[in-house]
Amino acid sequence: MKRILFVLAAVFAAVTGYAQQTYEKGSFVSQTTGDTMLYRYLEPQDMQQGKKYPLVIFLHGSGERGNDNQAQLFHGSGQFLNPVNREKYPAFVLFPQCPEGVPGAYMPGLETLVPADMPLDPPVAPIVQTLMDLINSYIAHPNVDPRRVYIMGISMGGIATFDIVSRYPEKFAAAIPICGSVNPQRLKGTKGVAWRIFHGDSDPAVTVEGSREAYKALRKYGLDVEYIEFAGCTHNSWNPAFNYPDFMKWLFKQKR
In a domain, 11, yes or no: no
Rounded alpha-carbon distances, angstroms, from residue 54 to 57, 212, 250, 252? 10, 28, 13, 8
In a domain, 20, yes or no: no
What confidence tens digit (pLDDT) does each residue in 142-179 have?
999 999 999 999 999 999 999 999 999 999 999 999 99
In a domain, 2, yes or no: no
Instruction: Identify the domain containing residue 123 by its residue range.
Output: 25-252
In a domain, 13, yes or no: no
pLDDT of residue 7: 41
pLDDT of residue 220: 98
In a domain, 19, yes or no: no
Query: What own/partner pairs with CB < 8 Å and gap ≥ 24 does 118-121 have?
Result: 118/181, 118/182, 118/183, 119/183, 120/183, 120/185, 120/186
46's torsion region: left (phi>0), alpha (psi -120 to 50) or beta?
A: left
In a domain, 73, yes or no: yes
CATH number at residue 247: 3.40.50.1820
Rounded alpha-carbon distances, angstroms, from residue 23 to 31, 45, 96, 121? 25, 12, 11, 35
pLDDT of residue 3: 53
pLDDT of residue 21: 52
pTM for the whole structure: 0.92
pLDDT of residue 207: 96
Rounded alpha-carbon distances, angstroms, from residue 47 to 43, 44, 86, 150, 173? 8, 5, 11, 19, 22
In a domain, 12, yes or no: no
Q: Which residues of the chain have pLDDT under 70?
A: 1-21
Q: By the 8 A CB rule, do 191 and 214 touch?
A: no
Distance, CA of 255 to chain centre: 17
In a domain, 51, yes or no: yes
Total number of domains constituting the chain: 1
pLDDT of residue 224: 98
pLDDT of residue 100: 95
